[in-house]
Amino acid sequence: MHSEALESTRYFVAGICGMGMCPLALLLHSRGCEVRGSDASIEGTAARSLRAAGVVVMDEASGLASLQGGDTLVYSTAISESHQLRKRARELGLQEFHRVDVLEAIARDYYVIAVAGTHGKTTTTGILGFVLEAAGWEPTIYVGGRILGFDTYFPPDLQNAHQVAGKPLLVVETDESDTSFLRLVPDVAVITNIDRDHLGAYNNSFEGLVRAFERFAIGCRDRGGVLIGFSDDGEVARLVDRIPLRILYGSTNADAMVSYDELANVCRVIYEGRDTLFAMERGDEKTYLDAVAACLSCSALGMDFSTALRHASRFPGMERRLQQIGEARNVAVVSDHADHPTEIAASMRALRARYKQRRIVLVLQPHRYSRVTARLEDYGRAVAEAGLLVLLPIYAAGEQVRDVDDLNRSLRTVVRQTVGSKLAESMSRDSTLKWLLAQVEPGDVVTFMGPGDVNELAWHFCGLLTGDIAVQ
CATH of the domain at 332: 3.90.190.20
- Find all residues with CB under 8 Å of 62, minimum gap 6, and list them: 38
Q: 151 and 299: one domain? A: yes
Give the count of beta carbons closer than 10 Å to the beta carbon of residue 228. 31
pLDDT, tens only, 152-204: 999 877 777 899 999 999 999 999 999 999 999 999 999 999 998 888 899 99
What pLDDT shows up at residue 183? 94
Q: 143 and 242: one domain? A: yes
Q: How confident is the model at residue 2 (pLDDT cuts 50, 70, 90)?
A: low
Q: How far apart are CA 288 and CA 268, in angstroms?
A: 10
Q: At what angle do helices 429-439 and 454-466 cross, to 10 degrees?
A: 40
Q: How far apart are CA 39 and CA 59, in angstroms?
A: 6
What pLDDT shows up at residue 82? 92
Among 312, 342, 362, the domain-final residue is 312
Is residue 221 assigned to a domain?
yes
CATH code at position 214: 3.40.1190.10
Q: How far apart are CA 461 and CA 471, in angstroms?
A: 9
Among 262, 290, 312, the domain-final residue is 312
In percent, how much of the chain has pLDDT > 90?
86
What pLDDT shows up at residue 346? 93
Q: 269 and 330: one domain? A: no
pLDDT, tens only, 73-107: 999 988 989 999 999 999 999 999 999 999 999 99
pLDDT, tens only, 375-420: 999 999 999 999 999 999 999 988 899 999 999 999 999 999 999 9
What pLDDT shows up at residue 471? 41
Q: 163 and 295: one domain? A: yes
Is residue 104 assigned to a domain?
no
CA 230, 234, 238: angle at the middle one, nearest 5?
Answer: 85
Q: 231 and 347: one domain? A: no
What would the mean pLDDT of 23-36 be, rounded to a whole number?
Answer: 94
With beta carbons less than 8 A apart as the criterion, state whether 339 and 347 touch: no
Give the count of beta carbons closer than 10 Å to the beta carbon of residue 77. 15
Q: 294 and 183: one domain? A: yes
Q: How confident is the model at residue 279 (pLDDT cuts 50, 70, 90)?
A: very high
| Element (DSSP H or E) covering residue 36 | strand 34-38
Q: 67 and 165: one domain? A: no
Is residue 318 assigned to a domain?
no
Q: 161 and 299: one domain? A: yes
Is residue 191 assigned to a domain?
yes
Asked if pLDDT for residue 329 goes beyond 60, the answer is yes
Q: 220 and 340: one domain? A: no
pLDDT, tens only, 230-241: 999 999 999 998
Domain limits at 131? 109-312
Number of structural domains found in the chain: 3
Q: 69 and 92: one domain? A: yes
- Looking at the DSSP assignment, which residues form a beta bridge with residue 10? 34
What pLDDT shows up at residue 84? 95
Q: 220 and 308: one domain? A: yes
Residue 426 DSSP one-character state: P
Q: 48 and 158: one domain? A: no
CATH code at position 16: 3.40.50.720
Q: How confident is the model at residue 210 (pLDDT cuts 50, 70, 90)?
A: very high
In percent, how much of the chain has pLDDT > 70?
98
Give the count of beta carbons closer than 10 Å to the beta carbon of residue 417. 11
With beta carbons less than 8 A apart as the criterion, state whether 92 and 23 touch: no
Among 99, 131, 161, the domain-final residue is 99
Query: What average pLDDT does the chain have?
Result: 93
pLDDT, tens only, 293-319: 999 999 999 999 999 999 999 999 999
